[in-house]
Structure 1
Amino acid sequence: MSSSEDDTPLVRAENQAISNERISKSEDKAMDKQIPSNGHVEPGISIRMGPVDDMDVDVPATNGGANGKRKARNSIPNGKSYKDASSSEEDDKPLSKRRRTSQQATAAKNDSDSDLSDVPLKARNLPKASAEQIGASSDSDVPLNTKLVKKKEDIEKAAAKEAKAIRSKEKAAPKRKAKVESDSDDDVPLAKKKVPAKKAPVKKANGVKKEVSDSDAPLAKKPATKKTKAKAAPTPVKKGKVKTKGEEDQDREAEEEEEEYRWWEDTAKGDGTKKWDTLEHNGVVFPPEYVPLPKHVKLVYDGVPVTLHPEAEEAATFYGGMLNSTHNVENPTFNKNFFEDFSAILDKTGHGKDKDGKTVKIKKFEKCDFKPIFEHFDSERAAKKALPGAEKKALKAEKDAAEADYMYCTWDGRKQKVGNFRVEPPSLFRGRGEHPKTGRIKKRVAPEQITINIGEKAKVPPAPAGHRWKEVKHDHEGTWLAMWQENINGAYKYVMLAANSDVKGQSDFKKFEKARELKKHIDRIREDYRRDLKSEKMVDRQRATAIYLIDQFALRAGNEKGEDEADTVGCCSLKFQHITLRPPETVIFDFLGKDSIRFYDEVKVDAQVFKNLKIFKKEPKTVGDDIFDRLTTSALNKHLTSYMPGLTAKVFRTYNASYTMARLLKSLKATGNVLEKVKAYNDANREVAILCNHKRTVAASHGASIDKMNERISGLRYQVWRTKMMMIDVDPKIKKKKGAEFFERPEDLTTEWVKQHQDAEVEEMRQKITKKFEKENEKLQLDGEKEMKPRELNERLEKADELANKYKKENKTGKVEAEGKGPSIEKLENNIDKINQRIENMKIQMEDKEGNKEVALGTSKINYIDPRLTVVFSKKFDVPIEKFFSKTLREKFDWAIKSVDEDWEF
């Protein structure tokens, strides 16, 4: 499926090595001899998630090394290899003392004779996923890798079978239609026509009779069911409210209700280029003007307090206000970029003045002391935090009232929430990961830079006094309300509708429908790229290898970057140093991916893919040369569209995650209580994340979080023991009846631990009582009523004192008095059962949390798994959707929640 232009070598950087146009058979065979085989290949799974044997081998100098951890949202100091960046020697050094990453190796050109691409990385302790993490039993003899590979193979076989079935039905549809027309008995007298026997209703999908599922039919055309009560055509449905206070109130509320537009039942809407007919909004909210610092707060330069021009002072506050962000202010690049921009403003405004009015030239960053500015802002933050709740609410209410008119727009006559209607205030650009422009000053955006998009007949929102808009447009094909260009990267910022708006919902809907459409073609695509892995044409072989990596390991396609942009790459832009080959079939990826976040992974690949990568890395290629030098992202996506309109590399990530989840949920039999069902869902989600390589670094707070949960479980176990002791207080004979062992305190709950736990429990009670007292006083203040006096708080705190005295007595006597009204053995045993159930639930939650520590469940669930699958699980197993989607996500995926029932299929 390649075009003639595919044979044309791409324009590359000067002195960059280019692969040969064709691969000769002799070269192919020679490469086979160089690659030893273990006779068994298990491709398609990240081996970081399974057992990895230690190997005493060296890190290749060409690859920049790789620690076994993937850093999430972390930068790697310049001048260092990734291995160095993760070494224990450097972990405790401040960023300013660390070296920065260099993409260019210092290896001499004469060293290129030796093929270093096959030298494996030094072994390291890599994160592993236990069998329990994917819901398997821990005592299984089957290795995790083998299980997942087998499961992935089964899923691919099922996908191929399903794709063929879908195409066969679509192909058969016209023939059936023709047969029906030819067999028509319209001319036969009515009396002589045969009346067919009654049959069960048959659902239709895309014009083809389907007895079981209508999952492939457009939602608008699905027949109504008792569960969904869907209409044949999109019909506005009233949002129901609770009817109270008689018929008059009902009528009044009915008039105030808005019609809910069920756009997902009208799939034809929005297919064209025109997105709206009428559009009205109130523009954007600008940040407040700069308020100068108090006269006693100044930047100190070389020990001298200096007065700055307001523009320069504002820039100084950007840096001074964030001295507590050591990640940034200890970054040499951040400091260098800031001071360059700050110096330009100082040169323009005349630098600073001392107390006598003499000019002070600010030339060296090291002589600048921003601490007085930081202390001023820090005290302001503390004062704001200490404000009474009533004042905080009043300030928020005032802000909300000022912004109320900007929060909504009217889109085709419907009220829609606007997402980011605030113009970003000036500040320092931080970027993510290892961004080269971190520390640059983001300038204040003026109305003259902003273009407004609005309907022709709508009133154009007025610009701030003394200003005007850059332009007013009526772009019916655009879904933006306003736009401007920021000064850091020259990128355009857009004011768009909120995530829960119709427009955003339709965008998500189309994304997942595109992935569903890929079901029909996935088998042909996989067959073709596996065949082309052996193509004689280099362009075809490179393209096939890239699609394999994108499909099997969820790599992003990657795009071309400018010189001043972060050095991030994707599959098509991988360079020589970004992959290391470890025979017989292991590929080690190590590069900066999206948002400058390091991507590190070790994967097993098909033997042919391993051989291809070896060919793509062969001499004279070296550090800095492209692996896929005859392929671009645009050429790859152009090839994919030949299978299906609109198909791009990123659709594979959505398809693989959604299809895998659909297969897992189909065979899932969730039982037990809600928590156990949620865990079953998370186990499936986790497996999808592992199979689709959605991994993350273990959070720094994970260990503390698990310790806290363990402490809570221990606290509940202590309560179980206390309750047992209360049984002895009620009936001393019960000890002999139950046996002394039943009443023994667990060994790990030592006397020292008990004392610490009791003290913590008493302190927690004090804090809760105090907090509740303060909240009640704030409410009284808001209502204009008299506040309670401190004496009331002291009286309430006596409960905590009583608890402390109770524990003191128990520790002294070794006895626990029964609590509650009319305590009995039966009641106390019921209490023990309830506490034990809480312990079990907490253990399930902790096991779930531990299993998720290295897997990005949120990434899969929110971005790649069709939300309708989560809704299906929720309805099928009677689990509240709130257990899976937060309020924000329920609003975002409102269309999914309302559009399917438990029988829907991806």
Structure 2
Amino acid sequence: MSGDTTSNSDDDRPLASSSPVKGVNGHLNGKNPDYSDVEMDDDDGDEDDIPLSQTRRASVLPPRRYLKRKKAAVSESSSDDDTPLASSPPKQSSTAVRMPGAVVATTVPVSVAQRNGLKKQVAVKEGPSDDEESIQTPVKKKPPRKRVKNEGSGAGASKPSRKRKVKVESDVELSDDDDDDKPIAKASAKKVKNEDTESSSEDDKPLATPSPQKAKDGFGEDLSKSKKKATKKKVEEDKANGKGKRKAKKEEEDEEVYRWWDINIKEDNTVKWITLEHSGVCFPPPYEVLPSNVKMKYDGKEVDLPPASEEVAGFYAALLETDYAQNNTFNKNFFEDWKKVLENHPPRNDVQITSFAKCDFRPMFEHFEAEKARKKAMSSAEKKELKKKKEETEAKYTACLLNGRKEKVGNFRIEPPGLFKGRGEHPRTGALKFRIRPEDITLNIGKDAPIPIPNMPGKWKAVQHDNTVTWLATWTENVNGNHKYVFLAAGSSLKGQSDMIKFEKARELKKHVDRIRNNYTSDLKSKVMAERQRATAMYFIDKLALRAGNEKGEDEADTVGCCSLRCEHVTLEPPHFIIFDFLGKDSIRYYNRVQIDPQVYKNIKIFKENKDDDDSLFDRVNTSGLNKHLNSEMKGLTAKVFRTYNASITFQRLLDEANLENASLQEKHNAYNKANRLVAILCNHQRSVPKTHDQSMEKMRYKLKALRYDRMKLRHALFGLDLKYKKQAKFREDDDESDLELDWIATHEENLKAKEIEKAEKRFAKDNEKLVEDGGKPQKDLILKHKIENIEREFKQLESERGKETATLKTSKTAEKIIEQIEKATEKIKTCKLQMMDRDEGKEVALSTSKINYLDPRITASWCKIHDVPIEKLFSKTLLTKFPWALEVDEDWKF
């Protein structure tokens, strides 16, 4: 909910940075004009934002032309694929893909289904799952009562409740153990047993038991008294031993996963839920006034602002040393909106604020910086306490009850008021975003669910009960008039189903793409101008993965897509080249010189005849009309589906083409990222170079030198054992190692010594704390002093060895052991070089955008299994949560 867009953006990149320069009156730009009579700056961007890795684009870009925009002759409506899931539910016809091995591995146990109020899970597979057997097949004979007693009471109750391997007896039928307690990403598929056979447990882990609080909250049936006692005892023992806390938490989370992908998903199902209960949204706390000694200044005089005006001034003061404070448009919009607030809440000491140049916000900025430093200096205990209080306040908003199941809510926090930043050169940047109140929000909730009470004074704007949409709350923000929504979290069942349907729709396009291409290729010569323009637009969308684009209003950023291209955006270059130059989504510049089909070249020449530069290139085509035609070619097909298809099919091809035989893990990682980068370039997923890139690269260069230093010391130690190794080629000094200057070695060894001493001091303090807690006496300071003296003695020895081919290791090692360590160090050096190369090549490309939105996650899951790469190396925790349905595909799966 912290973003400025209606829904999550495809391209959430950091803005280009520039070093701030402090000026007069607390401003950075040094020149602060009076924005009451200044004009807006028309500069549209910097050519330096073009990625160097974009090899198929011109290295030297021509100057851009900036003309006023003229609206297209045909009015356009918003694209269906750009609307939130709530307002345009997917038209559905296909079912979920069957994934062999997925169902048996992680089907929801009966106990979990009962607690979640589910009578039965229908799985997409050939035979019944283990849990379905336990539902459908009657138990032949109950386990002996004595065994149950021993496990639930008496001596057995004193131990934590665990799932144990039990010997199979001829007169007892045992239910199969499940893998539900294992992490989804790592759960291995089990073989399906016949109905009359029994399998032994593969998971000898303690069962994850929902807490009594969960049952109390209504997320499942209440636990039996015996289970409650066992759970309580286990928790108490875990606390006492300090063990298993993280593991128990992980198991409980995994047990609660609702495996919706094991059920047939129908696209034509317009009803999204039966029951829905949630706690509304979490409003930010009210504004806290600044201390009386913190005042902004106007023309050198302190200004006594009332809270409403002071709050808005604080928004700007907090950004004083950022790029925004140097943006003329940002400053102009802020000052205009702030003056409106000042009219209703004027300064109490009658200061008239009329000139932005005379405003000095630095006293407020310095106060905010001091507060940041104070919070940063807080002890870990204080930080944990603050975090705990925040979590307790927000706990009830983080989840909802969907059809009786507990599901996580995504953006439940209402964004606090502030200044609109926007992306790129947005004309409304700097405008004041109002505080959202309950009167602005419409809730969507089940008919029988209690209406939540907002955590600030006020009443909801409206409460509705629409089960055909997936949003929980909505409102309209004041800056751009965009509709904002609260949805379930990315890993929820509704979001997951939407993702699966999206990628399956793109995968289905494979069956139709040849026919569609033949159709639009023939229409390139159509005598009907509208058909010829539509075919040309489809050619660009297909071959170049361009977005469809929509017409923009005057107060929106001048970004375009394929259908909204103007004549100024395309330049013809004989014989068959075309140059694209325009601002795409999020004001990211798209520059591309590409060879095109001769007929397409001829068509563009015709479309540009007798038109001005600011006229629409495709004046007979709009996004809604294009998507309507695509839907006639294949049900549910849109321009966005084409973009998803081209990204995924290209990614699959690039991964398959890479030769990774005998490749190291880092080489595989680099090959994966290279394929991802090429797709990101195709989709124009650029970003400005991160501000920390140079610092990060410098750290990696230092790390590489440190690894070479370690290898050098090992070589010298080996030569000390036997000089014969010096004659072997693999132990000779390499060129990189010869670059280790004595000055650098001296600095590195001093750094190592400082770290060793710091580590010894921390361990000494920690050991003393433990001794005091156990009732003992702390160690004397003399012990720490001796440890530090030993460390200094070791590093004096290193100092004496500088510039010599001798080395003394901390512990004596055999030649074989040293050789083994040298080989490991050599491998680490190689890996570090590859990491540096990968990071530098990707500095101007956003890889995460394509992973989240355009690349079918099953491609990555399958590739990881083929090449034995841990998927955690490629997918963040967020992506693993978002795509649990994709992680269980077989290695032979292809897009």
Query: Shorter-chain TM-score: what band?
Result: 0.7 to 0.9
1:353 lines up with 2:353 in the alignment: no
Deviations 1:851-902 (A, max 9, x none): 434544333332211001111111222221111111111000111113x222
Which amino acid counterpart does residue 749 of structure 1 have in structure 2?
L
2:605 matched residue in structure 1:
614
Structure 1 residues 834 and 538: CA distance shift in structure 2, 3 A: same
1:209 matched residue in structure 2:
none
1:755 matched residue in structure 2:
746
Deviations 1:85-132 (A, max 9, x none): xxxxxxx9889899976499xxxxxxxxxxxxxxxxx9999835689x
8 A Cα contact 2:719 2:725, kept in partner: yes
Structure 1 residues 842 and 736: CA distance shift in structure 2, 3 A: closer
Structure 1 residues 366 and 611: CA distance shift in structure 2, 3 A: same
Using the TM superposition, give the Cα deviation of residue 421 of structure 1 relative to its aligned residue in structure 2, in angstroms: 0.8
Using the TM superposition, give the Cα deviation of residue 754 of structure 1 relative to its aligned residue in structure 2, in angstroms: 2.5
Give runs of aligned pairs for residues 185-264 of structure 1, distance below 5 A. Answer: 218-220=96-98, 231-232=125-126, 239-240=180-181, 243=204, 258=255, 260-264=257-261
1:171 matched residue in structure 2:
none
2:70 matched residue in structure 1:
none
1:526 lines up with 2:517 in the alignment: yes
Q: Determine helix, strand or coil for the equivalent of 1:747.
A: helix
1:497 lines up with 2:488 in the alignment: yes
Structure 1 residues 852 and 657: CA distance shift in structure 2, 3 A: same
Q: Determine helix, strand or coil for the equivalent of 2:578.
A: strand
1:631 matched residue in structure 2:
621
Using the TM superposition, give the Cα deviation of residue 904 of structure 1 relative to its aligned residue in structure 2, in angstroms: 2.1
Q: Distance in 1 between the 2:822 and 2:286 partners?
A: 62
Q: Distance in 2 between the 1:124 and 1:374 partners?
A: 30
8 A Cα contact 2:49 2:688, kept in partner: no
8 A Cα contact 1:74 1:597, kept in partner: no
Using the TM superposition, give the Cα deviation of residue 536 of structure 1 relative to its aligned residue in structure 2, in angstroms: 2.3
8 A Cα contact 1:337 1:440, kept in partner: yes
8 A Cα contact 2:689 2:844, kept in partner: yes
Q: Distance in 2 between the 1:382 and 1:488 partners?
A: 32
Which one of the candidate residues 800, 806, 813 is aligned to 1:823?
813
2:417 matched residue in structure 1:
426
Q: Distance in 1 between the 2:736 and 2:582 partners?
A: 53
Deviations 1:360-380 (A, max 9, x none): 111111111111111111100
Using the TM superposition, give the Cα deviation of residue 707 of structure 1 relative to its aligned residue in structure 2, in angstroms: 4.2
1:158 matched residue in structure 2:
none
TM-score, normalised with respect to structure 2: 0.72
Q: Distance in 1 between the 2:827 and 2:891 partners?
A: 30
Structure 1 residues 491 and 737: CA distance shift in structure 2, 3 A: closer
Q: Distance in 2 between the 1:232 and 1:739 partners?
A: 56
Give runs of aligned pairs for residues 260-339 of structure 1, distance below 5 A. Answer: 260-269=257-266, 271-325=268-322, 327-339=323-335
Q: Distance in 2 between the 1:676 and 1:523 partners?
A: 35
2:118 matched residue in structure 1:
none
Deviations 1:832-855 (A, max 9, x none): 111111112222323333443454
Relative to structure 2, which stretch is displaced further, 815-824 or 335-344? 815-824
Give runs of aligned pairs for residues 474-485 of structure 1, distance below 5 A. Answer: 474-485=465-476
% identical equivalent positions:
48
Using the TM superposition, give the Cα deviation of residue 260 of structure 1 relative to its aligned residue in structure 2, in angstroms: 4.0
8 A Cα contact 1:71 1:697, kept in partner: no
1:387 lines up with 2:378 in the alignment: yes
Deviations 1:434-456 (A, max 9, x none): 11111111111111111111111
Q: Distance in 2 between the 1:691 and 1:437 partners?
A: 29
Deviations 1:27-86 (A, max 9, x none): xxxxxxxxxxxxxxxxxxxxxxxxxxxxxxxxxxxxxxxxxxx99754799xxxxxxxxx
1:869 matched residue in structure 2:
859
Using the TM superposition, give the Cα deviation of residue 684 of structure 1 relative to its aligned residue in structure 2, in angstroms: 3.4
Q: Distance in 2 between the 1:783 and 1:476 partners?
A: 58
Using the TM superposition, give the Cα deviation of residue 232 of structure 1 relative to its aligned residue in structure 2, in angstroms: 4.0
Structure 1 residues 290 and 418: CA distance shift in structure 2, 3 A: same
Using the TM superposition, give the Cα deviation of residue 573 of structure 1 relative to its aligned residue in structure 2, in angstroms: 0.8
1:558 lines up with 2:549 in the alignment: yes
Which amino acid counterpart does residue 493 of structure 1 have in structure 2?
K
Q: Determine helix, strand or coil for the equivalent of 2:816.
A: helix
1:904 matched residue in structure 2:
893
Deviations 1:452-471 (A, max 9, x none): 11111111111346421111
Which amino acid counterpart does residue 841 of structure 1 have in structure 2?
T
TM-score, normalised with respect to structure 1: 0.71
1:440 matched residue in structure 2:
431
Using the TM superposition, give the Cα deviation of residue 613 of structure 1 relative to its aligned residue in structure 2, in angstroms: 1.7
1:458 matched residue in structure 2:
449
Structure 1 residues 565 and 430: CA distance shift in structure 2, 3 A: same
Q: Distance in 1 between the 2:570 and 2:257 partners?
A: 52
1:656 lines up with 2:646 in the alignment: yes
Q: Determine helix, strand or coil for the equivalent of 1:410.
A: strand
Which amino acid counterpart does residue 523 of structure 1 have in structure 2?
D
Aligned length: 716
Deviations 1:790-833 (A, max 9, x none): 98877765566345423322227x35343143323222222211
Q: Distance in 2 between the 1:826 and 1:301 partners?
A: 75
Relative to structure 2, which stretch is displaced further, 594-603 or 237-246? 237-246
Which amino acid counterpart does residue 338 of structure 2 have in structure 1?
F
Relative to structure 2, which stretch is displaced further, 687-696 or 219-228? 219-228
Relative to structure 2, which stretch is displaced further, 853-862 or 569-578? 853-862
Which amino acid counterpart does residue 280 of structure 1 have in structure 2?
E
Structure 1 residues 276 and 705: CA distance shift in structure 2, 3 A: same
What RMSD, in angstroms, separates the aligned Cα atoms of the two structures?
4.1
Task: Give unmatched runs, 5+ long, in structure 1.
Answer: 1-69, 78-91, 105-121, 132-143, 145-215
1:679 lines up with 2:573 in the alignment: no
Give runs of aligned pairs for residues 452-851 of structure 1, distance below 5 A. Answer: 452-464=443-455, 466-619=457-610, 621-666=611-656, 668=658, 670-672=660-662, 673-690=664-681, 694-696=685-687, 698-699=689-690, 701-731=692-722, 735=726, 746-765=737-756, 801-802=792-793, 804-811=795-802, 814=804, 816-851=806-841
Structure 1 residues 375 and 125: CA distance shift in structure 2, 3 A: closer
Which amino acid counterpart does residue 345 of structure 1 have in structure 2?
V
Which amino acid counterpart does residue 604 of structure 1 have in structure 2?
Q
1:205 matched residue in structure 2:
none
Using the TM superposition, give the Cα deviation of residue 661 of structure 1 relative to its aligned residue in structure 2, in angstroms: 2.6
Structure 1 residues 646 and 392: CA distance shift in structure 2, 3 A: same
Q: Distance in 1 between the 2:404 and 2:512 partners?
A: 39
Q: Distance in 2 between the 1:610 and 1:303 partners?
A: 63
Structure 1 residues 780 and 226: CA distance shift in structure 2, 3 A: same
Deviations 1:156-190 (A, max 9, x none): xxxxxxxxxxxxxxxxxxxxxxxxxxxxxxxxxxx
1:364 matched residue in structure 2:
355
Using the TM superposition, give the Cα deviation of residue 658 of structure 1 relative to its aligned residue in structure 2, in angstroms: 1.3
Q: Distance in 1 between the 2:884 and 2:817 partners?
A: 44
Structure 1 residues 317 and 226: CA distance shift in structure 2, 3 A: closer
Structure 1 residues 442 and 832: CA distance shift in structure 2, 3 A: same
Q: Determine helix, strand or coil for the equivalent of 2:303.
A: strand
Using the TM superposition, give the Cα deviation of residue 413 of structure 1 relative to its aligned residue in structure 2, in angstroms: 0.9
Q: Distance in 2 between the 1:606 and 1:662 partners?
A: 25
8 A Cα contact 1:72 1:597, kept in partner: no
Which amino acid counterpart does residue 481 of structure 2 have in structure 1?
G
Q: Determine helix, strand or coil for the equivalent of 1:472.
A: strand
Structure 1 residues 668 and 320: CA distance shift in structure 2, 3 A: closer
8 A Cα contact 1:280 1:410, kept in partner: yes
Structure 1 residues 736 and 274: CA distance shift in structure 2, 3 A: closer
Which one of the candidate residues 334, 340, 362 is aligned to 2:336?
340
8 A Cα contact 1:127 1:854, kept in partner: yes
Structure 1 residues 630 and 468: CA distance shift in structure 2, 3 A: same
Q: Distance in 1 between the 2:812 and 2:43 partners?
A: 75
